Chains A and B, each alone.
Chain A
Amino acid sequence: MTSTALSEDRVDRQATPQRSKALARREALAGYLFATPALLGLLVFTALPIVASLILIFLHYDLLTPPKWAGAENVTRLATDSRMFKIYWNTLRLTVGVTLFNNVLGLLLAVGLNRAMPWGLRYVLRTSIFFPVMTTTASLAVVWRFLLTQDRGVVNFLIGQIGLDPVPWLSSSAWALVSAMIYDVWKSCGYLMVIYLAGLQGIPAVYYEAARIDGAGFWQQFRNVTLPLISPTAFFAIVISLIGAFQIFDNVWVLTEGGPGDASRVIAMYIYEKAFRGFEMGYASAVSFTLFIILIALTLLQFLGARRWVHYE
């Protein structure tokens, strides 16, 4: 580094054109060098895969024999894949369920935790509710599998204590998806709580003081101060919940293994199984692209719809 040249140039802003050109070149060179490692990673493991999967859609490829041109076969097959539609229906129900419960619970828990309480109590409550977020989804799904066993499971024992019949949580098609939903809400609502808590703490206390002086009660304050001012946070939280929920994999893979039958199979599992159990790379790529399009469309729709309900100060 010719530091003297650099510092002179900075002190004297009226540098000669040649010198500032040289400086700009050096800055550009530094820029490229600093960006290169991340750029390489992005190109090889995100950009290249996207291009590759676009190409794969038009191929038959089973990993062992060389790829064969498939034309639009993989795409037209999507329209007739009734199994995929059923699995999308499961995914949609799971997504709506977990997004709704996680966000409503997350917001209510945040409102509760944001109130005046002894420091120790706040610590215990926050720790208990947030800790499951940190744990491994696949491993805790093993724990929940034990808990939800029909015959000797803890959950059925506990609901038996209050006089209810045992529920076939994992073995009936009516309950398997509900179990996956319960597990996800248990695992993630603390995360949403933390996000909403950060949003609530950003609301200036003067608004609540003003509302109180105007005679607003608890509900009115929640309705007229908290909700409008938390809406940017809620928007962010709902977008990331939806995108995450559409891609749920570990949870169902371990908890119900998609069963019974296809009752709790979700789209990420279907893509994985088509690709790495059935070795239909082309068709699996076509299915994964439907997911991509749905997620993009959903995000755009939300950004458009957000104008109607998100208030920025």
Chain B
Amino acid sequence: MATTTGTASKPVSLPKSYRKSVWLLLGEALLWILLIGIAIIEIAPISWMVSTSLRDPKNSFDLPPDFWPTALHWQNYVAVINSPDIEFMLFFWNSLKIALIVTGAQLLTCSMAGYAFGRLRFFGRDILFGLFLASLMVPATVTLIPSFIIIRSLDLMNTHWALILPSVTSAFGVFLLRQHFKSLPEELLDAAKIDGAGYFRIYWQILLPLTGPALSALGIFTFLASWNNFVGPLLFLRDWDKFTFPIAIATIRGYMGSGNQSEVLAGIMISIFPLLVFFLLAQRWIVQGAAITGMKG
């Protein structure tokens, strides 16, 4: 602390209780045990999944369980990918395609509306923004049934549009970006206007580059929410060739889970592998983003 360094030259005699008491040590020890214990509990199911997905299928139910791979039976992964009944890599493509489109669309629509509500003056602005805020209170469970009827009457059942269109924008994203745009200094925009920048150039070349962290946080969590979405595909998709990972895995478990645990786990590993890589690469941003936005995948 800059303010304390100046005055800290005089040695301060600390009261006795500041010295590490038994209670302090005990508290600290408990905290460490909790931290390490929970970390082990959090990671154990995942390391069990990795190890078991690499076991020979005929040993896949054997006990004791492995938490570290003892076999490297990659054939399970090959079997899942080359399965004759189901095109597993098609799920990957479906999930990726939908998540990318939804993320791109949301970043665009939310940032545009965020600019309008945060930086432009027009009649009815506050009422319209109030609508967005109010809709934050509406739980997804409530809009599920009418959304189904709307999608059905638009004749979009069993298409990927049924998953994309309802997620094209989000009230939360509009709110988040509006707050960020609003917090930028007015002088910056004035300067741009003096230089002759129009509304679109101000939005595209000044505001967007300055809100990188908020945009990337929104992008990351929109992508995750789409990748992990379960209710949408459960409701709207019927055919295997349209399925995304979560619904495909829940369905595969139904008819082959009891027979071959290792192959089902290999399938799950393939479906979360992109998340794992992404997380290890971008952990800092993801963790910060979770704190900024209060969203989760």
Contact = CB atoms under 8 A, between A and B. Distances in A.
B144 A288 contact: yes
A309 interface: no
B6 interface: no
B137 A296 contact: yes
Interface of B: 1, 3-4, 12, 14-18, 21, 23-24, 27-28, 31-32, 34-36, 38-43, 45-46, 48-49, 61, 63-65, 108-110, 112-113, 115-117, 120-123, 125, 128, 131-132, 135, 137-150, 152, 165-166, 168-169, 171, 174, 190, 193-199, 203, 224, 227-228, 230-231, 234-235, 245-247, 249-250, 253, 257, 261, 264-265, 268, 271-272, 275-276, 279-280, 283, 286-288, 290-292, 294, 296-297
Contacts of B235: 272, 276
A105 B120 CA distance: 43
Contact of B203 (A10, A28, A34, A189): A34
Given A32-B122, A206-B3, A209-B1, 15 more contacts: A31-B122, A37-B112, A42-B131, A53-B143, A111-B31, A131-B279, A135-B228, A138-B247, A138-B250, A139-B272, A197-B291, A206-B1, A212-B18, A253-B234, A268-B141
A125 interface: yes
A49 B194 contact: no
A78 B38 CA distance: 42
Nearest to A35: B116
B1 A247 contact: no
A126 B39 CA distance: 8
A129 B290 CA distance: 14
Contacts of B257: 142, 145-146
Interface of A: 1, 3-4, 6-7, 10-11, 24, 27-35, 37-42, 44-50, 52-53, 56, 63, 105, 108-109, 111-113, 115, 123-147, 152, 154, 157-158, 186, 188-191, 194-195, 197-198, 205-206, 209, 212-219, 236, 240, 243, 246-247, 249-250, 253-254, 267-268, 271-272, 275-276, 281, 284-285, 288-289, 291-292, 295-296, 299
A213 B4 CA distance: 13
Contact of B125 (A31, A141, A292): A31
30 contacts: A24-B121, A28-B120, A31-B116, A31-B120, A35-B112, A38-B132, A39-B128, A50-B142, A50-B143, A111-B31, A125-B35, A130-B286, A132-B42, A133-B296, A134-B272, A134-B275, A136-B249, A138-B249, A145-B253, A154-B65, A157-B64, A186-B41, A191-B290, A205-B1, A213-B14, A214-B15, A218-B24, A218-B27, A267-B141, A291-B142
A4 B256 CA distance: 69
